A and B are shown apart, each in its own frame.
Chain A
Amino acid sequence: MSGVFVSVGSMMPFDRLTRAMDEWAAAHPGIGVEIQIGKGEYEPRHARWVRKLPLAEYQTRVETCALFVAHCGMGSIISAIEAGKPILMLPRLAAQGEHNNDHQLATAKHIGVRPGLHVAADSADLKVRATALLADAGGAPAPISRFADPAFTDRIRAFIES
């Protein structure tokens, strides 16, 4: 796909993100927007949407979209980094019932600072950043190898073999 691909994550609803990007789609009718809404209640009226894509199709969307927007979850982040695709994220907030704690804010603080990763403060900021990043995506995330650092997996191997 050439437009905007949005993923809210599969484990819990995140209607604030779905609604914000559906509103953004309404304001940008010429740009294709597809949202994977997971377990959300809100069904987009302007963007195309799907509950959950099979992994291979999800990965293809991430690789080929013009802009990838997601919650601040590690599946989305690692998928973006592996695809070398910039990612715009809105962290889930415990106060809004979007997760059981605020670890996505911590992820934004500790991992969201990497090149190619962008964190929005709220829905309004998300929409502004989406428009800006679509015009200029900036640098891609630094490429990583397919597997974790061998020093790490070697220690796990030693645990298995001990």
Chain B
Amino acid sequence: MGKRVLAIASGGGHFIQLMRLQPAWAGHQVSVATVDPSTRTLAGDVPFYTFRDVSRADWWRIPAAALDIARILISARPQVIITTGALPGLIAAALARPFGVKSLWVDSIANSEVLSGSGGQAGRVCSQVITQWPHLSTDRVQHWGSVL
């Protein structure tokens, strides 16, 4: 049956990048979560969830977003989380971590000179952090490739 995977990202470029990674979880039981219901068409015929968005600029929305994401986690019961950011992906990884859920942070290709703010925090939360730029790789942040 494969693993239960939750692929989660905010809107805009974060979600577009996530959808370019779909072959990674083909054949597994994937659920997809993002903010814009109209982007369901990219996700294909899989369980699709939306949550209220949050970023560092409107941090007071964290409780609402975290509540939505907690509900998604309870419903999807992932064994693995894959996220291309931003903050909501980090919240998902943090909420799921105590339950032994492993998580991969794929830092956005938009961060070509420094890791994103959430990406910098992701090392403390996620099982693995990867950058899409070889010159940003370190011993802890690996470079496996890029969406482009």
Binding site for B on A (CB under 8 A): 9-12, 54-56, 73-79, 81, 100-101, 103-104, 106-107, 109-111, 144, 146-157, 159-161
A88 to chain B, nearest CB (A): 17
Q: Is the CB of A103 within 8 A of B16?
A: no
Q: Is the CB of B108 within 8 A of A74?
A: yes
Distance of A159 Cα from B114 Cα, bound (Å): 24
Which residues of the partner chain A approach B111 to less than 8 Å between Cβ atoms? 103, 106
Number of A-B contacts (CB under 8 A): 121
Cβ-neighbour of B3 out of A146, A155, A160 (below 8 A): A160
Which of B35-43, B61-69, B89-97 is the contact stretch?
B35-43
Some 9 contacts from A to B, beta carbons below 8 A apart, are: A12-B57, A74-B108, A74-B109, A78-B16, A100-B57, A110-B133, A111-B112, A152-B147, A160-B80
Binding site for A on B (CB under 8 A): 3, 5, 10-17, 20-25, 28, 36, 38-39, 41-42, 53, 55-57, 80, 82, 102, 104, 106, 108-114, 116-117, 128, 133, 144-148
Distance of A1 Cα from B109 Cα, bound (Å): 30
Cβ-neighbour of A78 out of B11, B20, B55 (below 8 A): B20
Which residues of the partner chain A approach B36 to less than 8 Å between Cβ atoms? 10, 55
A63 to chain B, nearest CB (A): 14
Distance of A146 Cα from B133 Cα, bound (Å): 20
Distance of A98 Cα from B116 Cα, bound (Å): 16
Cβ-neighbour of B21 out of A74, A77, A110, A153 (below 8 A): A153
Q: List 10 extra interface pairs beyond A151-B145, A160-B5, CB under 8 A.
A: A55-B39, A74-B110, A78-B16, A107-B112, A109-B112, A149-B146, A152-B21, A156-B24, A157-B25, A160-B82
A101 to chain B, nearest CB (A): 8
B44 to chain A, nearest CB (A): 12
Cβ-neighbour of B112 out of A76, A110, A160 (below 8 A): A110
